[in-house]
Amino acid sequence: MTPSTESPAAATTETWTYADFAAKAEQLLAPLASLMQPGESHLPIEGPPSDHGEAADRFEAFARPMLLAALWLHSNQHTSAEHRTLDPGPIADWFRDGLVLGTDPGSDKFWGVLPSFHQFAVEMAILVMALDIAEDHLWTPLAEDEKRQVADWLGQIRGHAGHHNNHLFFDLLVLEFLGDQGFGTPEDRPCIDWLFVELETMHRKDGWFIDGTNENYDHYNAYAFHIYGLYWARRYGHANPSRADRWKQWAARFIPDYARFFSARGEPVPFGRSLTYRFNGVGVFPLAADLGIDTLDPGVMRRLCRRCIGFFTANDTGQSQGCMSIGWTDEFQGLAEPYSCAGSPYWAAKGLLMLTLDPDHPFFTAPEQPIPSETDAEPVVIAAPGYVVRNITGQTAGDPDNASGPGDVELINAGGWSSFSAAQRFGQWKWGRIAFRTGVGSLYPESPDIIPPDAGLTARRPDSDRWFGRHKTIPIHADESHLAAAYTLSVPKSGFNVGVVTRVWWNGAALFQVHKVQAYQPTVIRSGGFAISGSSEPLNLIVHPPQAVGASNAKQSTSIRAIAGWTRSALLTESTDDRRAHLYGPGSAVPSLEAEIGIGVHHFAEVLWTGRDGNDDPGWHPLETDSQDWVLKSTNGEVWDIGPR
């Protein structure tokens, strides 16, 4: 399946008003409203269970939809009743009743107690955000004894042993809410300060945070660190103005970088974990606008938000009940993390935080401006994570407003890594590929320890079928045309190790890669191209093994071309009858190159390419020259002079 490129609005407008964003919230809330049964403290959303247990999944299927409902309930004061299809009264009543039942130890609908390192703490923070945002609907109407009951249940989070990563925010947000509502204790403020100090140790540079013990950089910088940091600064920052200013300054540096991670269609670069939260990350932009952060024009922020939310709501992201599914552009349970359950996708509600602003806020009234992927901007180096983010020139990608522009964006990865525990739990390949590109996607194996072949270098023993990939990468160099990274292909207790230095250059939709490979045992080395989906019998574009191999379907093409060192090529395919592995749909094809090598240093070079919408493979190949540079020439005569070999 190729993502929809239809206009997210009715194709007749080039902007959204406050009411349009509110209508999106109602659209997402409507399937949930039909599941609200009296006397229940969760919504019976169909979907996979998590590894946290039934109690956590039940609470998650209440708290995350409650945030969506809170944003919609809050927005009703700014929108006209005649344009609504839902009645706010019964929805608010159901969530209040469920809140009382879920926090009552004497009820058979009781959510339960909070053990150490438990998912309840995550959802408690979403719960208090909802209570705060829609206070007049969800909190104020409660009786005093009901408020005390809820506060006592939330108070379990005091001193809670949680994961040392973005999760520390959950504890401090709950404590701030309790203090604000008169249920605090003298110990809460020192706890909040301690939690903030720990979170601030995770800041690396220019507003980029490493996610604690997970040791990786991805969309959680927006999902969690900046959304929660800015939410806290706006709502509770008066308690510590210098800290609030610090978090605002970090966000001011981060948001121009993050705005580059979205295609002209609004699709975020699909990398890292928790992609099923879809448009969660754009919630950082309205919060930044409300706090006066001006490093990105509010017209750019709104356009980016509507494009992203529109991208996902224009695609079929629902499951059998019409609720948000596990998946990206459609229902794809292979995208689930171990902690994912049926209610998990509703963390996307944070992407609708613009509904906490007033309709006359500049976020809504400023003229729309092009987002970075619509301009022909130079690639940008993001130093902290070791990324280069660039527009893919020559691929228009169906811009929803019919504007001309490059369309797709690519993250080229000189620094992606994960801790060993994160790799075991989630799969190191979510951070370890050499590149991630919108509109292309990648493969998601059924197990975290299976290393997929696409967009990366892998290795195995000649007598084994187990492939090893990279886990941690040290960035050596990055500029607007070239990057270099050092890493190994290995895992603990494997008795196997291959050292690699990879250098990457880019030109349009092509990547030129050069690898210096140090083998410490006989090894089969493999370079995989980009994976495409949606065809059970892909067509070979180029039948000249071992020099090149490729495939195409109705809308996409992919190829890999040997330049030096490789001795054989292969097209790795899955039919539509196999377990689905590709982000965008059933079936997949990955072109690859291989070589069998002995102990010692070996050198390889190849070109990866993928194109859409009728773009042809440029057929880059070496140009015979006396120069000591790498010089490639395409089939249409273009010369690519890369630089010293």
Can you give the residue ranges of every domain in the chain?
A: 18-374, 380-612
Q: Across residues 49-71, what is the average pLDDT?
A: 96
The residue whose two tokens read 């689930």 is: 336
Q: What is the pLDDT of residue 317?
A: 80
Q: Across residues 23-45, what is the average pLDDT?
A: 97
Q: What is the pLDDT of residue 538?
A: 63
Q: What is the pLDDT of residue 539?
A: 61
In order of 99, 136, 377, 405, the CA distances from 39 in angstroms are: 11, 22, 55, 52
Q: At what angle do helices 168-180 and 227-236 cross, to 10 degrees?
A: 20
DSSP character string of 562-630: EEES--EEEEEEE-TTSPP-BTTBS-EEEEEEEEEE-SEEEEEEEEEEEEETTPPP---EEPP-SSSEE
Could you tell me whether strands 510-519 and 600-612 are parallel, antiparallel, or unpaired per DSSP bridges? Answer: antiparallel
CB atoms within 10 A of CB 596: 12
Cβ atoms of residues 17 and 83 within 8 Å: no
Q: Across residues 524-534, what is the average pLDDT?
A: 94
Q: What is the pLDDT of residue 319?
A: 92
Look at residue 599 and tell me whether its pLDDT is greater than 80: yes
The residue whose two tokens read 């309205």 is: 286
Give the CA angle between residues 149, 151, 154 to the nearest 5°. 110
Q: Tens digits of per-residue pLDDT, 330-353? A: 999 999 999 999 999 999 999 999
The residue ranking higher by pLDDT, 315 or 423, is 423
Q: What is the pLDDT of residue 375?
A: 86
As a whole number of angstroms, the longest Cα–Cα distance in the chain is 85
Q: Across residues 274-285, what is the average pLDDT?
A: 98
Length of the chain: 645
Assigned token pair, 22: 């509110």
CA-closest candidate to residue 573, choices 518, 532, 519:
532
Cβ atoms of residues 237 and 253 within 8 Å: no
Assigned token pair, 631: 């010089």
CB atoms within 10 A of CB 447: 7
Assigned token pair, 334: 């292979």
Q: d(Cα 638, Cα 591) in Å, to the nearest integer?
A: 24
Look at residue 406 and tell me whether its pLDDT is greater than 70: no
Positive or negative torsion for Cα 394, 315, 436, 536 = negative
In order of 41, 276, 349, the CA distances from 335 in angstroms are: 27, 7, 19
Look at residue 278 and tell me whether its pLDDT is greater than 80: yes
Q: Is 470 exposed, middle or buried (0-12, 13-18, 19+ CB in 10 A)?
A: buried
* Distance between first and last Cα of the chain: 39
CB atoms within 10 A of CB 239: 15
Q: Across residues 31-54, what is the average pLDDT?
A: 96
Cβ atoms of residues 601 and 611 within 8 Å: no
The residue whose two tokens read 């150490």 is: 116
At 543, the pLDDT band (50, 70, 90 cuts) reads low
Query: DSSP assignment, residue 393?
Result: T
Q: d(Cα 401, Cα 4) in Å, to the nearest integer?
A: 13
CB atoms within 10 A of CB 431: 28
In order of 166, 389, 524, 644, 645, the CA distances from 603 in angstroms are: 40, 27, 13, 14, 11
Backbone phi and psi for residue 127, each to the nearest 5 degrees, phi listed first: -60, -45
Question: Class assignment of domain 380-612?
Answer: mainly beta
Q: d(Cα 83, Cα 28) in Å, to the nearest integer?
A: 15
Look at residue 78 and tell me whether its pLDDT is greater than 90: yes
Question: What percentage of residues in the chain have a pLDDT greater than 70?
Answer: 94
The residue whose two tokens read 């998912």 is: 119
Q: Which helix (H) or strand (E) holds 365?
A: helix 362-365
Q: Which helix (H) or strand (E) holds 268?
A: none
Q: d(Cα 2, Cα 532) in Å, to the nearest integer?
A: 9
Q: Across residues 69-90, what is the average pLDDT?
A: 94
In order of 211, 277, 417, the CA distances from 346 in angstroms are: 21, 7, 27
At 541, the pLDDT band (50, 70, 90 cuts) reads low
CA-closest candidate to residue 451, choices 402, 406, 418:
418
Q: What is the pLDDT of residue 575?
A: 85
Residues contacting 182, CB < 8 A, separation 6+: none
Q: What is the pLDDT of residue 452?
A: 96
Q: Across residues 125-136, what is the average pLDDT?
A: 97
Assigned token pair, 305: 């938000």
Q: Across residues 115-140, what is the average pLDDT?
A: 95
Tell me the average pLDDT of the chain. 92
Give the CA angle between residues 101, 103, 109 to the nearest 5°. 45
Assigned token pair, 95: 């969530």
Look at residue 450 and tell me whether its pLDDT is greater than 60: yes
Give the CA angle between residues 381, 439, 393 to the nearest 5°. 55
b/e per residue 336-349 (b: at least 16 CB within 10 A): bbebbbbbbbbbbb
Query: DSSP assignment, residue 540?
Result: P
Q: d(Cα 276, Cα 325) in Å, to the nearest integer?
A: 8
Q: d(Cα 513, Cα 424) in Å, to the nearest integer?
A: 28
**pTM of the predicted protein model:** 0.94
CATH number of 18-374: 1.50.10.20
Backbone phi and psi for residue 631, each to the nearest 5 degrees, phi listed first: -130, 120
CA-closest candidate to residue 211, choices 269, 169, 177, 243:
169
At 435, the pLDDT band (50, 70, 90 cuts) reads very high
Look at residue 448 and tell me whether its pLDDT is greater than 60: yes
Look at residue 265 and tell me whether its pLDDT is greater than 70: yes
Q: What is the pLDDT of residue 546?
A: 66
Q: Across residues 297-326, what is the average pLDDT?
A: 94
543 SS3 class: coil
Q: At what angle do helices 54-75 and 18-33 cross, to 10 degrees?
A: 140
Backbone phi and psi for residue 450, each to the nearest 5 degrees, phi listed first: -90, 120
Q: Is 105 exposed, middle or buried (0-12, 13-18, 19+ CB in 10 A)?
A: exposed
At 12, the pLDDT band (50, 70, 90 cuts) reads very low
CB atoms within 10 A of CB 69: 30
Cβ atoms of residues 404 and 391 within 8 Å: no
Q: d(Cα 525, Cα 542) in Å, to the nearest integer?
A: 22
Look at residue 232 and tell me whether its pLDDT is greater than 60: yes
| Phi and psi based region of residue 587 (left: phi greater than 0; alpha: psi -120 to 50; beta: remaining) | left
Q: What is the 3-state secondary structure (H, E, C) of 284-296?
A: HHHHHHHCCCCCC
Q: Tens digits of per-residue pLDDT, 369-394? A: 999 999 877 899 999 999 999 998 65
CA-closest candidate to residue 529, choices 503, 551, 555, 498:
551
Q: d(Cα 14, Cα 93) in Å, to the nearest integer?
A: 37
